[in-house]
Structure 1
Amino acid sequence: MNRTTRLLVLLVAVLVLGGIGTGAVLHAADRSGKKDQEQPGGPPVRAGKVSLQASQGRELVFRNMAWGPHRDELATVPAGQPDGPRTASGVKCLRFHAASGTGICLQAVHGALEDTYRAVVLDANLHELHSYPAVGIPTRSRVSPSGHHVAWTVFVSGDSYSGTDFSTRTAIADTRSWAVDDNLETYAVIKDGHPYQAHDTNIWGVTFADDNRFYATLATGGHTYLVQGDIAARTLTTLHENVECPSLSPDGTRIAYKKRVPGLPADAPWRLYVLDLRTMTETATAEQRDIDDQALWSDTSTLVYALPGDYGADLWTVPAEGSGAARKLTGAAVAPAYLG
């Protein structure tokens, strides 16, 4: 075999091997793309127009967790068909809530060295109206019934409520003036009827009653309390102990919350309860698993909340009065809100 023949053989071998490598890469990419689009076992998702003003009956909107090109985008389904095809908006949120055509979207801003976060107020067409820097990892968000106030909580340090080594920052903003209380720890605390001051206070999980009154969790001295907040007076008044991540019922009479139950594991300490605000009577729901979420009332008698699932999180539902059983509402979803 002369030199020219050897060079030709070598060139053919390089081309063949290159073709095999390219084909393998393209085949893998094609498989990956199909996996993203087909989402075996997951709900079908398609791009489309999403509005926070339900135009065709009541809708459920949430952060879509299904793998594929629309993961982390806000998506909607008819409220009566929670497992139906999803319409994805193109807007990505880590945490989300909406009411009266106003949305609060907590987003990550990916940087070269580290991620930062921001709280974005959205209009009914998911257009950005205003944004605020968020000083930590997003964890809770709520909009007042009128849409005139939004609230959000972030972890300043730590990434879980299960232990004691964490710090939160909670803010409330007025969507009419864009004025913001960027740290509710500056509010005066009234504990057991007396002014209270401490250096270890943490506040999180706002739920609004109206444009002035709200509820939240206050942690201090190793205990957690349900507090009633007054925006105008800038006060927080304790109401009940061992309440975390409260959620006010649509009729304003009850609070759904996660309660630390003695005897449960330290890394899974919570069960879902409901508190009657008039009598301060507690009712355990039928959900027996650990709940680390701020539940949502889908109506005056039903709770919706997230639990870990195959795609990251699933939404479940359970009666609020303690009867019945928990059932899966839809898979691959978190941070829900009902529209209409």
Structure 2
Amino acid sequence: MTGRRRLTIALVAIALFAGALAYGLTAYFAQLARASSPSEAVTTTDAPAADEPRLVFRNTAAGQGYGNAALVALDDPAGARTILPIACDRIDASDAAAICLHTDRGVVTTFGATLYTADWQAVRSWPLAGIPSRARLSPDGELVATTAFVTGHSYATTGFSTQTVVGPVDGDARENLEDFALTVDGSRLDAVDRNLWGVTFAEDGATFYATAASGGRTWLVKGDVAARTLTSIEADAECPSLSPDGSRIAFKRDVSESTVPDWRIAVLDLDSGEVTILPEQRSVDDQVEWLDEETLLYGMPGAEVGDGDVWRIAADGRSEASEYLRHASSPSVVR
């Protein structure tokens, strides 16, 4: 290699590093600016009681506490919210624990997951392979699942890749779902392009559902933690969410006829196999949450960049969507 070529490579590397540094610093200072003024939301220092049903979510109201975990009483979602000093991109909670996926910005941006007790004391943290995407705790609080984008930054991005891991909340052993045996329509699928994401746990914790993808297709799969298996049960299904009684799965389905996804919320009855497409006409890129047996919650982009709102819709498709909570995303119901 000539000296001139070495110099050229060095200059290109310096330019790339400088560009990445500038991007990271710009995002970091933009985040600081958005969170420096008083919050646009009505806040309180009094959190809901430990035994009071509550909604845990990511606060997206501009001002102090932007991007932090927040709580509000479930029977008064429009009331004053408690904003915690915990920054989260994605969050899930139960009456026993909470999981927060976060972006740690700086000169070098990193990504991580932190597990909390029910009273928001940090228990342990570990790194994520990429940009935070999905997080779920099992109903019994024994297992946790996280999904991160390894390449790409959106499910609408061509060629994205994810890493989804599942493991016990009280240990460091985590299983990559790509190592599980995947069966689609009765045949083993070992394609190198397969992707897994969007876990939802059954009541027993050992059973879960997730999205599998390969060759431009997606499937809802049923997983077994102990057997390390994944089996397809429905095609064209992404980001599942199991109902509290375990009888239905809500998911998003791409109904677009072009390369640009257009996701609709759908509900699968596990006994009959019937799928109901709900009357939300906007594209919903979220893993929905069950408010109760009749109602679903999901996040939608807000009017301002970086903001969002939580909407609700009847799970049987008999009513239109309506706004549930402004300046919020990643809702999690705790009863």
TM bracket (short chain): 0.7 to 0.9
Equivalent of residue 315 in structure 2, options 305, 317, 320: 320
Residues 1:153 and 2:134 are matched in the alignment: no
Q: Which of the two has higher C-alpha Rg?
A: 1
The CA deviation at 1:100 is: 2.8
Cα contact 2:39–2:61 (8 A) shared by 1: no
Separation in 1, partners of 2:259, 2:191: 25
Q: Cα deviations across residues 247-277 of structure 1 (Å, max 9, x unaligned)? A: 00001111101001143x5434111110111
Equivalent of residue 54 in structure 1, options 50, 55, 65: 50
Equivalent of residue 120 in structure 1, options 87, 93, 114: 114
Return the TM-score normalized by structure 2. 0.85
Q: Cα deviations across residues 303-326 of structure 1 (Å, max 9, x unaligned)? A: 000011135210000000010110
Residues 1:267 and 2:257 are matched in the alignment: no
Determine what percentage of the aligned residue pairs are the same residue.
Answer: 41
Per the alignment, residue 15 of structure 2 pairs with none
User: Cα gap change, 1:187/1:85 in structure 2, threshold over 3 Å: closer, same or farther?
Assistant: same
Residues 1:221 and 2:215 are matched in the alignment: yes
User: Cα gap change, 1:73/1:191 in structure 2, threshold over 3 Å: closer, same or farther?
Assistant: same
Letter in 1 for 2:290: W
Q: Secondary structure at the match of 1:121?
A: strand
Per the alignment, residue 191 of structure 1 pairs with 184
Separation in 2, partners of 1:143, 1:211: 9
Per the alignment, residue 283 of structure 2 pairs with 290
Q: Secondary structure at the match of 2:291?
A: strand
Letter in 2 for 1:233: A
Equivalent of residue 230 in structure 2, options 236, 244, 254: 236
The CA deviation at 1:176 is: 3.0
Q: Secondary structure at the match of 2:318?
A: coil
Equivalent of residue 208 in structure 1, options 201, 225, 232: 201
Letter in 2 for 1:84: G
Matches within 5 A, 1:1-340: 36-37=37-38, 39=40, 43-46=41-44, 48=45, 50=47, 54-55=50-51, 57-112=52-107, 114-181=108-175, 183-209=176-202, 210-263=204-257, 266-311=259-304, 312-340=307-335
The CA deviation at 1:34 is: 12
Cα contact 1:216–1:229 (8 A) shared by 2: yes
Q: Cα deviations across residues 131-174 of structure 1 (Å, max 9, x unaligned)? A: 12101000111000001001110100001112431000001120
Separation in 2, partners of 1:60, 1:54: 12
Per the alignment, residue 9 of structure 1 pairs with none
Cα contact 2:36–2:64 (8 A) shared by 1: no
5+ unaligned residues in a row in structure 1: which ranges?
1-31
The CA deviation at 1:286 is: 1.9
Cα contact 2:35–2:65 (8 A) shared by 1: no
Separation in 1, partners of 2:157, 2:84: 36
The CA deviation at 1:33 is: 10
Cα contact 2:254–2:263 (8 A) shared by 1: yes
Per the alignment, residue 6 of structure 1 pairs with none
Separation in 2, partners of 1:100, 1:322: 29
Letter in 2 for 1:220: S
Cα contact 1:286–1:319 (8 A) shared by 2: no
The CA deviation at 1:196 is: 2.0
Separation in 2, partners of 1:35, 1:111: 17
Q: Secondary structure at the match of 2:249?
A: strand
Q: Cα deviations across residues 258-303 of structure 1 (Å, max 9, x unaligned)? A: 001143x543411111011112111011211100000000111100
Separation in 2, partners of 1:189, 1:320: 29
Cα contact 2:311–2:324 (8 A) shared by 1: yes
Q: Secondary structure at the match of 1:267?
A: coil
